[in-house]
Structure 1
Amino acid sequence: MLMAGTGREARINYMAGTFRLLSDGDHVRCAMTGVRIPLEALRYWSVARQEPYVDAAACLAAEERAGR
């Protein structure tokens, strides 16, 4: 069975503890590294900057870049 959005990058609204799909897709790109993140593996993001991150290290680097 084909899934909607297969192979396409999703548009997402990142919220505290969850996220909402704005457009179909099966992945997003890490804001720091550009690495493709399957939606089922997405665990790190910034609500304030509306950015996804591939892992905790990328999330920390983004926080440091933002000066927090």
Structure 2
Amino acid sequence: MNGPAQLHYDTPEFDILRPGSYVLCAVSGEQIPLNELKYWSAEFQEAYRSAAEATAAMLAGGAGNLKK
């Protein structure tokens, strides 16, 4: 599948609820290929492109709390 996947994020893995080739970064909106996904939050059910974005989202209490 070439579209977005729907995942359930857990620790230390995630479950694929709907197959796809990528998820969107909760901070930047960039596509993250599933084979490159390394950062996510089980608490907030969000994926992140990098450690810096993951850290910023965690400190803010979720990406939705970050000022754009």
| TM-score interval, normalised by the smaller of the two chains | 0.7 to 0.9
Q: How does 1:32-43 map to 2 (within 5 A)?
A: 32-43=27-38
TM-score, with structure 2 as normaliser: 0.87
Cα RMSD after superposing both structures: 1.2
Q: Structure 1 counterpart of 2:26, which letter? A: A
Q: Structure 2 stretches of 5 or more lacking a match?
A: 63-68
Number of aligned positions between the proteins:
62
Query: Which residue of structure 2 aligns with residue 26 of structure 1?
Result: 21
Following the alignment from structure 2 to structure 1, what is the Cα–Cα distance between the partners of residues 12 and 61? 21
Following the alignment from structure 1 to structure 2, what is the Cα–Cα distance between the partners of residues 12 and 56? 19
Query: Which residue of structure 1 aligns with residue 65 of structure 2?
Result: none
Following the alignment from structure 1 to structure 2, what is the Cα–Cα distance between the partners of residues 63 and 49? 9
Q: How does 1:1-20 map to 2 (within 5 A)?
A: 5=1, 7-20=2-15
Answering whether residue 44 of structure 2 is matched by residue 49 of structure 1, we say yes
Report which of the two structures shows the higher radius of gyration computed on alpha carbons: 1
Q: Structure 1 stretches of 5 or more lacking a match?
A: none
Question: What secondary structure is seen at the aligned counterpart in 2 of 1:21?
Answer: strand
Answering whether residue 54 of structure 2 is matched by residue 59 of structure 1, we say yes
